[in-house]
């Protein structure tokens, strides 16, 4: 059964990127500009994007997530397209395309501040985000949201083991603990694998590598249209 507003105190664990603030849309804007810039004699934008996706997927395993991995992937995609090393001028141009990613511009999802304030008055809130530690901490600081959470956690990847360890560290009961996020791959499926409830709030700009199929019959996965809808359930 899903919890409802006014129910006993719960522990709500929040994802950060594309749940609390917009993130992937910044990367998508860079990719659009990159595809405009890369001129290939035989491959179209869709084909080049597919190559970039493959390069990012491989780099995520060995280099983690964030803007550094992304810039590396743009350079390696260029090298794969032209079967040569990228020039210094090309790498500088890629850096110029991606400057917005390094400026810590923060666009909170609508209703986040008000919703976290109300939820924090009746539940215990935590933050769990993955990626480069320094980069994610800069985002948390820029968001000015950290005071809403009793603890914040930055991990390189979100697997079932991460959720199990977090529950053990904080003595969390799975029946009263919920993971809230936009990523089926990182937020919903591993949280459910660890026995937590999960709240899926889709974001139209979620990274393609974070997509995965969810079980429509899983009664402990609650799907909401917008972040403020949490107030009707918790």
- The per-residue pLDDT for range 85-94, each reduced to its tens digit, is 999 999 999 9
Residue whose C-alpha is closest to residue 22's, from 99, 97, 110: 110
Are the C-beta atoms of residues 201 and 188 closer than 8 Å to each other? no
DSSP state, residue 86 = P
Residue 18 predicted with pLDDT over 80: yes
Compute the distance between CA of residue 44 and CA of residue 108 in angstroms, rounded to an integer: 34
Lowest mean pLDDT among 28-32, 116-120, 194-198: 28-32
Better-scored residue on pLDDT, 202 or 101: 202
Hey, is 89 helix, strand or coil?
helix
pLDDT score recorded for residue 1: 44
- The per-residue pLDDT for range 133-162, each reduced to its tens digit, is 988 999 999 999 999 999 999 999 999 999
- The per-residue pLDDT for range 169-224, each reduced to its tens digit, is 999 999 999 999 999 989 999 999 999 999 999 987 776 667 778 888 898 999 99
pLDDT score recorded for residue 215: 83
pLDDT band at 98 (very low <50, low <70, confident <90, very high): confident
What percent of the chain has pLDDT above 90? 69
Place of tokens 């937020």: 187
Residue 104 predicted with pLDDT over 70: no
> Strand (E) positions, the chain?
11-14, 124-130, 151-155, 177-181, 197-200, 221-223
């Amino acid at each position: 059964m899903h919890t409802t507003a006014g129910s006993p105190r719960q522990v709500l664990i929040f994802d950060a990127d594309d749940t609390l603030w917009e993130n992937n849309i910044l990367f998508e804007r860079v990719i659009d500009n990159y595809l405009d810039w890369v001129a290939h004699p035989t491959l179209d934008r869709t084909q080049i994007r597919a190559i970039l996706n493959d390069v990012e997927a491989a780099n995520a395993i060995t280099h983690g997530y964030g803007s550094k991995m992304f810039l590396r992937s743009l350079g390696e995609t260029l090298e794969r397209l032209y079967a040569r090393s990228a020039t210094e001028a090309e790498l500088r141009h890629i850096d110029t395309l991606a400057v917005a990613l390094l400026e810590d511009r923060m666009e909170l999802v609508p209703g986040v501040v008000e919703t976290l304030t109300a939820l924090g008055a009746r539940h215990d809130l935590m933050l769990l985000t993955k990626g480069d530690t320094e980069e994610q901490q800069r985002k948390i600081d820029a968001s000015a949201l950290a005071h809403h959470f009793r603890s914040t956690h930055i991990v390189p990847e979100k697997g079932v083991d991460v959720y199990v360890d977090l529950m053990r560290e904080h003595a969390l009961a799975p029946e009263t603990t919920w993971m809230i996020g936009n990523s089926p791959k990182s937020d919903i499926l591993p949280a459910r694998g660890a026995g937590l409830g999960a709240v899926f709030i889709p974001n139209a700009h979620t990274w393609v590598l974070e997509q995965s199929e969810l079980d429509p019959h899983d009664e402990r996965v609650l799907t909401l249209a917008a972040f403020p809808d949490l107030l009707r359930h918790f």
